[in-house]
A = this chain, B = another copy of it.
Amino acid sequence: NIFERQQEARTTVLKVVDIDDNTADPAVWGRNFPLQYDDYLKTVDMIQTTYGGSEAIPRTPTDEDPRDLVSRSKIERIPQLKRLWAGYAFSKDYREKRGHAYMLTDQIYTERQKVGQPGTCIHCHASTYVPMKELGEGDIHAGFEKLNALPYMEAKAHVKHPVACIDCHEPETMALRITRPAFMEGIAAFKKSQGVQDYDVNRDATRQEMRSFVCGQCHVEYYFQGDEKRLTYPWTEGLTVDAAYSHFESSGFKDWTHAETGAPMLKAQHPEFELWSQGIHSRAGVACADCHMAYKRVGAMKISDHHIRSPLLNVNAACGTCHKTGDQELIARTENIQARHQKLVKIALDAVIDLIDDINAAKANGVAEDKMKAAQQWQRKATFYVDYVEAENSSGFHAGQEAARILAESIDCSRKGQNALRE
């Protein structure tokens, strides 16, 4: 009925409960915003797309790991990765990511926990805003430090929910806000590299920027700096892979030592925010939320779809506002980019493996120290570059040309490394 629908559109938000800056439980927020909450709960769904999404793999729960569904193992599907990361926890267990609903459980039960992780990990895997506030007695930065310093298994006792409403929203106005200290610092460091001093993201960011920044709190490359294992985003020189690599070079940081070759290694993790920032959509002002939380119609109302997922499961709404071609064609265009990308990733991975083999052989046969050092350095760089786009979850879509460029440089490094041993 047309009249009813129109009425519905005008109805303002019905305040059922009071929500304040300490209300962590999303179910409570959900009473005021049932539509968003309903969608939020749907992130438990597991649906595979050609190159993304996730597939539910049944497993028998054990005492140690009670999960009855997990996502596919990436190290089994891409065997090169095990050797890429030899000696690092990632070579033991690395799976497809899946919906936000799983973030806490998946982190608790990954076999990567066996090596003993710091509380820092929790920054991106739970609703930490209230816990940080509590631990820091009102100061989230102080709370952040305290959480970091705890061993993971202790830290996790302080959190309850996966990322929740309060981590992205200011409860009074529902405005977006940044709650993650590591992002506040990272983005300020980046802005400084661009000549902007004293950048305060919650004061200075535009609304459209916020629609990506809230995601950039977690979907970024990170590392644990110094002995206190401080969570840091390597953005002091920019948001490109080159800037990140250069950042690590200048402090000589390493994540681990390669078990086969002895090279000082770097691990790249999910730089969606950074790769997106180099692509045409970012340049055109298209935010993460535009595609991953597309507006949807509920009755006569337009809301942001809080079922955050692959846009390819929701093409009409996610892409259709801007692209008038049919849904099938849009998927085909995307997969065209992704297929070309994945073919190149394979070439780059094979190149690193060749380098590892050659270093092993050179070790066995004896080789001059400086040649070995040079080859290890190339391995470090080649691995970081290919990992950067492999760990990125859009299969190249977020910035096709840039991703191919990064792979080209990775290949160059691997092959130069092989040559370095022989010169």
Interface residues of A (CB under 8 A from B): 280, 283-284, 325, 333, 336-337, 340-341, 343-344, 347-348, 351, 396, 400-405, 407-409, 411-412, 414-416, 418-419, 422
Of A343, A401, A419, most buried by chain B (CB within 10 Å of CB) is: A401
Partner of A404, one of B283, B343, B405: B405
Query: Does B351 lie within 8 Å of A405, measured CB to CB?
Result: no
Question: Looking at chain A's contact residues, is the secondary structure mostly helix, strand, loop, or mixed?
Answer: helix
Partner of A407, one of B340, B396, B408, B418: B408
Contacts of A415 in B (CB 8 A): 411-412, 414-416, 418-419
Contacts of A337 in B (CB 8 A): 401
Query: Does A405 lie within 8 Å of B340, measured CB to CB?
Result: yes
Partner of A344, one of B333, B340, B343, B405: B405
Of A284, A396, A415, most buried by chain B (CB within 10 Å of CB) is: A415
Contacts of A411 in B (CB 8 A): 408, 411-412, 415
Q: How far is B398's CA from A401's CA once the two chains are assembled, in angstroms?
A: 12
Query: Does A408 lie within 8 Å of B347, measured CB to CB?
Result: yes
A371 to chain B, nearest CB (A): 12
Query: Does B344 lie within 8 Å of A408, measured CB to CB?
Result: yes
Closest 8 CB pairs of A and B: A415-B415, A404-B404, A408-B408, A400-B401, A422-B422, A401-B401, A411-B412, A404-B405
30 A/B residue pairs, CB under 8 Å, sorted by A: A280-B333, A283-B336, A337-B401, A340-B401, A343-B405, A344-B405, A344-B408, A347-B408, A348-B408, A396-B401, A400-B400, A400-B401, A401-B401, A401-B403, A401-B404, A404-B404, A404-B405, A404-B408, A407-B408, A408-B408, A408-B411, A411-B412, A411-B415, A412-B415, A414-B415, A415-B416, A415-B419, A419-B419, A419-B422, A422-B422
